[in-house]
Amino acid sequence: MGMFCYQCEQTAKGKGCDTLGICGKTPEVATLQDLLIHALKGIAVYGQLALELGVKDKNADLFLIEGLFTTVTNVDFDPARIQEEIVRAYQVKEAIKRLFLDAYKKKNGRDFDGELPAAAYWKPAETLAGLLDQGSKVGILSDKILNEDIRSLRELLLYGLKGMAAYADHALILGKENEEVTAFFHKGLRALTNNSLTVNDLVNLNMEFGMVNLKCLELLDQAHTDHFGHPVPTKVFLGAKKGPAILVSGHDLLDLEWLLQQTEGKGISIYTHGEMLPAHGYPALNKYKHLVGNYGGAWQDQAKEFDAFPGAILMTTNCIQRPRETYQDRIFTTGLVAWPGVAHISLQNGKKDFSPVIQKALSAGGFKQDIPGKEIMVGFGHQAVLGVADKVVGAVKAGQIRHFFLVGGCDGAKPGRNYYTEFAEQAPKDTVILTLACGKYRFNKLEFGDIGGIPRLLDMGQCNDAYSAIQVAVALSKVFNCGVNELPLSMILSWYEQKAVCILLTLLALGIQNIRIGPSLPAFVSPNVLKVLVEKFNIKPITSAKEDLEAILGTAAV
Ligand code: SF4
Ligand code: SF3
């Protein structure tokens, strides 16, 4: 059975996974995910038509968001769950279709008789084999004669939508929604079925998406800060405390809060992993004394680290990898993350019961003794950084800070990512490094010192906290009375999965130029689309840390 997927940076041979995903995605899962996306397009066709008549369906909105998030890299590897989603997708489509048809008739006094794209008429086959057959006909390459630039721009938009879905889902979980953001899932997915859109139309739509995603990032920032307070600079312990332990990974801060509440007073220590590290900066989470510290590094090292962790592990979002047998019975998934055979904690009546995780932590025994460790700082969100804006601006004007680098984005397993460590290490002492997302694990334990009390390494948070970096850049450009592109600020980004795609589209939509991106360029960007990105935005692939630093700062760089 074949497959084709090139949505992430580690795609096989830099072209596409066609026999088995490097991530562990089987052809069966890949094909079911293709069919799920097709089904979501069908919902969006009716969803958008209904919206044009002023009719909304919350169920369809949520389904699109969760469905897209399900297909993000390293989220759901369980064919049974995806199969269930596909069957539900049909029910959701039929419901929104009825809503639209009724509204149409009411408005026009007659039945709708327009032609719609194939996705609108899709009906799931009754067997798994039938679904796989359907999925094999709607994959990325199924339209053999599709222009490669159109395909490239459609996939760019689709991956952006997947990334935004993850952020919209986190915001929704915390009770925040933005109508424009929600509506764009319908608009964007429906556009992917529209054969009359030109390259230009799709470029514009990608830019429109970028601005909508900015709103989504803002919404999630608001959801996080309203619920957990604004991050404050906070020291995070990297050792361990004797006793039972739970390790929490992923981006979902509410899961962590619930777990902290349910473990309070039970003698269990909670540790953050991967993208959960910034949680320590939020007052409403840091107040729990048993949120002890951070353990391990970025996602690609999890097999070794989870193996060695003497407790239970909870994966709240991406990135999960195939669990080793040694910890298969100690790892739990929740939310949209799933791996066949791994215990899943579901939402029931608006709550999650983490008792199985807690029981496992208690029975696993935990750390036999205290393990000493150093401390690192997190919590430099936009409010914390802008709170010392005077000091920062003063240091720039006095020549103490020559340049800011945003070295942010995902980590990954492919060689070439040492560039980011080298870049941070070689950045001159009169430069400040802002960082976010899981790529920072390559250098966040190094000593960078400070400039007049301003730490040289400022951790702004998770990947979604790119919003903080944008806020800081905009504020600095106001102070210095110049455009963001004229600031002494350079963006050095690393990408892996689709959230990085949506953030990149936002930065481009904001007109930010000269972004350096690595470790390799996306396989789904066709040569012509790349040409447009280079011409319009001067986007460039990373070279070597030394060369890039010299190019940015001039020859006296290092
Ligand atoms: Fe390959 Fe990435 Fe797709 Fe997994 S998500 S199948 S690694 S391109
Ligand atoms: Fe990392 Fe998966 Fe993207 Fe949120 S945890 S940045 S890769």
Distances (CA, A) of 408 to 60, 354, 375, 382, 390: 34, 32, 21, 15, 24
Mean pLDDT, rounded, for 540-551: 97
User: What residue's CA is closest to ligand 1, atom 6?
Assistant: 21
pLDDT band per the 50, 70, 90 thresholds, residue 1: confident
Which of 159, 499, 502, 503 most suits a substitution to test ligand 2, by most atoms within 8 Å of the C-beta? 499
Residue ranges of alpha helices (H) inside 314-415 are 355-364, 382-387, 389-397
369-384 pLDDT tens trace: 999 999 999 999 999 9
User: What residue's CA is closest to ligand 1, atom 2?
Assistant: 8
At 299, is the secondary structure helix, strand, or coil? helix
At 360, is the secondary structure helix, strand, or coil? helix
Q: Ligand 1 mean position to 222 CA, how many Å?
A: 32
* Complete domains list, the chain, with CATH: 12-227 (1.20.1270.20), 234-364 (3.40.50.2030)
Cβ(21) – ligand 1 distance below 6 Å: yes
174 phi and psi angles, rounded to 5 deg = -95, 15
Beta-ladder partners of 17: 5
Which ligand neighbours the alpha carbon of 16 most closely?
1
Which of 22, 462, 496, 498 most suits a substitution to test ligand 2, by most atoms within 8 Å of the C-beta? 496
Element (H, E) at 221: helix 199-228
User: What residue's CA is closest to ligand 2, atom 7?
Assistant: 410
Q: Ligand 2 mean position to 462 CA, how many Å?
A: 8
Which of 3, 4, 10, 524 most suits a substitution to test ligand 1, by most atoms within 8 Å of the C-beta? 10
pLDDT band per the 50, 70, 90 thresholds, residue 557: very low
Distances (CA, A) of 40 to 257, 360, 386, 430: 31, 37, 41, 50
Percentage of the chain beyond pLDDT 90 is 98
Element (H, E) at 505: helix 498-509
- Whether residue 434 contacts residue 185, with contact meaning beta carbons closer than 8 Å, is answered with no
Q: Ligand 1 mean position to 402 CA, how many Å?
A: 39
pLDDT band per the 50, 70, 90 thresholds, residue 498: very high
Whether the pLDDT of residue 395 is over 50: the answer is yes
Which ligand neighbours the alpha carbon of 23 most closely?
1
At 526, is the secondary structure helix, strand, or coil? coil
The contacts found for 475-483 with CB under 8 angstroms, 24 or more apart, are 475/382, 475/386, 475/389, 476/389, 476/392, 476/393, 476/404, 479/389, 479/393, 480/393, 480/396, 483/511
Mean pLDDT, rounded, for 137-153: 97
Mean pLDDT for the chain? Answer: 97
d(CA 56, CA 7): 30
pLDDT in the model for residue 558: 45
pLDDT band per the 50, 70, 90 thresholds, residue 555: low
Cβ(5) – ligand 1 distance below 6 Å: yes
Beta-ladder partners of 243: 367
Cβ(318) – ligand 1 distance below 6 Å: no
242-266 pLDDT tens trace: 999 999 999 999 999 999 999 999 9
Cβ(8) – ligand 1 distance below 6 Å: yes
16-61 pLDDT tens trace: 999 999 999 999 999 999 999 999 999 999 999 999 999 999 999 9
Q: Give the number of the atom of ligand 2 that is nearest the alpha carbon of residue 275.
A: 5
The contacts found for 284-291 with CB under 8 angstroms, 24 or more apart, are 284/227, 284/228, 284/229, 284/257, 285/228, 285/253, 285/256, 285/257, 285/260, 286/234, 288/260, 288/264, 290/260, 290/263, 290/264, 291/256, 291/260
Cβ(74) – ligand 1 distance below 6 Å: no
d(CA 62, CA 49): 17
Which of 410, 436, 462 most suits a substitution to test ligand 2, by most atoms within 8 Å of the C-beta? 410
DSSP 557: -
Which residue, 290, 224, 307, 468, is CA-closest to 272? 290
Segments of 79-135 assigned E as strands: none
Query: For the CA atoms of 2, 7, 9, 15, what is the dihedral angle to 10 degrees?
Result: 50
Token look-up 């980004």 returns 493
What token pair was written down for 439?
């790529």
Q: Give the number of the atom of ligand 1 that is nearest the alpha carbon of residue 20.
A: 6
Cβ(7) – ligand 1 distance below 6 Å: yes
Cβ(23) – ligand 1 distance below 6 Å: yes
464-484 pLDDT tens trace: 999 999 999 999 999 999 999
Which ligand neighbours the alpha carbon of 72 most closely?
1
Whether the pLDDT of residue 534 is over 90: the answer is yes
Which residue, 355, 257, 262, 240, is CA-closest to 308? 240
Which ligand neighbours the alpha carbon of 7 most closely?
1
Q: Give the number of the atom of ligand 2 that is nearest the alpha carbon of residue 411.
A: 7
The DSSP bridge pattern shows strands 516-518 and 540-541 to be parallel
Element (H, E) at 191: helix 179-191
Q: Give the number of the atom of ligand 2 that is nearest the alpha carbon of residue 318.
A: 2
Mean pLDDT, rounded, for 279-290: 98
Cβ(506) – ligand 1 distance below 6 Å: no
Which ligand neighbours the alpha carbon of 276 most closely?
2
Query: Is the dihedral angle over the CA atoms 311, 336, 128, 31 positive or is it negative?
Result: negative
pLDDT in the model for residue 415: 83
What token pair was written down for 543?
């070279």
449-459 pLDDT tens trace: 999 999 999 99
- Of the two residues 416 and 275, the one the predictor is more confident about is 275
Whether the pLDDT of residue 95 is over 60: the answer is yes
Q: Ligand 1 mean position to 86 CA, how many Å?
A: 20
288 residue type, one letter: Y
At 499, is the secondary structure helix, strand, or coil? helix
pLDDT band per the 50, 70, 90 thresholds, residue 336: very high
- Whether residue 344 contacts residue 338, with contact meaning beta carbons closer than 8 Å, is answered with yes
d(CA 435, CA 38): 36
Cβ(319) – ligand 1 distance below 6 Å: no
User: What residue's CA is closest to ligand 1, atom 3?
Assistant: 5
Using CB distances shorter than 6 Å, the residues near ligand 2 are: 251, 274-275, 299, 318-319, 410-411, 437-438, 462-463, 496-497, 499-500
Whether the pLDDT of residue 511 is over 70: the answer is yes
Q: Give the number of the atom of ligand 1 that is nearest the alpha carbon of residue 8.
A: 2
Q: Ligand 2 mean position to 165 CA, how many Å?
A: 14
